[in-house]
Amino acid sequence: MLGPVLLAVSRSDRMRRLVAAAPVTRPVVHRFVAGDDLPSAMDRVRALADAGLEVTLDHLGEDVTDRATAGATRDAYLRLLEALDAEGLGKRAEVSVKLSAFGQALPVGGHDIALENVRQVAAAASAAGTTVTCDMEDHTTVDSTLAVVAELRREHPGTGAVVQSYLFRTEQDCRALAVPGSRVRLVKGAYKEPASVAYQDKREVDRAYVRCLRILMAGGGYPMVGSHDPRMISIARHLARVAGRVAGDYEFQMLYGIRAAEQARLAADGERMRIYVPYGADWYGYFMRRLAERPANLAFFLRSFVPAGA
């Protein structure tokens, strides 16, 4: 029951101010967010790479409502890619972008503004020997986001797409995307969506996830399995074997700060394991969605409000 509530308040400016002002918030946020700035993010990239893990970096921000902020997001990614290139980390780290942070939601020309901004990031990524994955946001953005991915792939074929199993349409999207060279990250979904477009029951979301996994593993693309669920990980490994895939023909992805021991175990077992590392000052929306996804995350946060020894 708390999940939908937390997703609703993730877009509340009043709650943003209250949570951000709480003295205990920031230490807890740093469990899930690699820091406010680029040097902090680069420290985490180096540490994860040294541990045999790969990374996708997300400069936090979304729902941008002016062109100047959208341009600032683009510039932050350009600085990030310059830093990755300078340290030769392009083979270990890619970037993930939310198109709403690039201007997608602007009332006039938002789609084209976001495309132009992210096109510059994709070019910089290619120059650094890495690539871009376009995160999926709420259901109203799916067509625009997939259209941007298709356009970017004309010059940067490694551009990744993200699909969410809780949306009714996603199985069909997977069929369209499961083609040679297509990088596709499958997640369950972390936005509050209406019953008219998305499964509301967790069991139905899980079943849809498995159906989408079957399509992606059997297809010609490169599946990226975004899940912390042990059952889904086991199913994905089984479906990969059935499809004749070997390690490196697909990968697992997990969030920074969640199930770190499992991340290390899968990597040690020969699986390609990529960690989604967010950073930046605009952490509130991302943080609230992480709390909504798993009761254990929320419990961890609430315990931080209890004084030691109480």
Report whether 189 belongs to an annotated binding site.
yes
Report whether 15 belongs to an annotated binding site.
no
Report whether 227 belongs to an annotated binding site.
yes
Give me the catalytic one of 16, 44, 58, 135: 135
206 is catalytic: no
Give me the catalytic one of 74, 92, 119, 185: 185
Dist. CA 291–CA 166, nearest whole Å: 18
Report whether 219 belongs to an annotated binding site.
no
Report whether 234 belongs to an annotated binding site.
no
Residues 277, 31 contacting (CB under 8 angstroms): no
Burial 246-279 (b: 16+ CB within 10 A, else e): eeeebbbbbbbbbbeeebeebbeeebbbbbbbbb
Report whether 1 belongs to an annotated binding site.
no
Report whether 136 belongs to an annotated binding site.
yes
Three-state secondary-structure class, residue 81: helix
135 is catalytic: yes
H/E stretch holding 224 = strand 222-226
H/E stretch holding 279 = strand 273-279
Helix axes 110-127, 67-86, angle to 10 degrees: 10
Report whether 126 belongs to an annotated binding site.
no
Report whether 111 belongs to an annotated binding site.
no
Report whether 281 belongs to an annotated binding site.
no
Q: Number of C-alpha atoms within 13 angstroms, CB side, residue 207?
A: 8
- Binding-site annotation: residue ranges for FAD: 136, 164, 188-190, 202, 227-228
- Binding-site annotation: residue ranges: 98, 136, 164, 188-190, 202, 227-228, 289-290
- Binding-site annotation: residue ranges for substrate: 98, 289-290
Catalytic residues: 135, 185
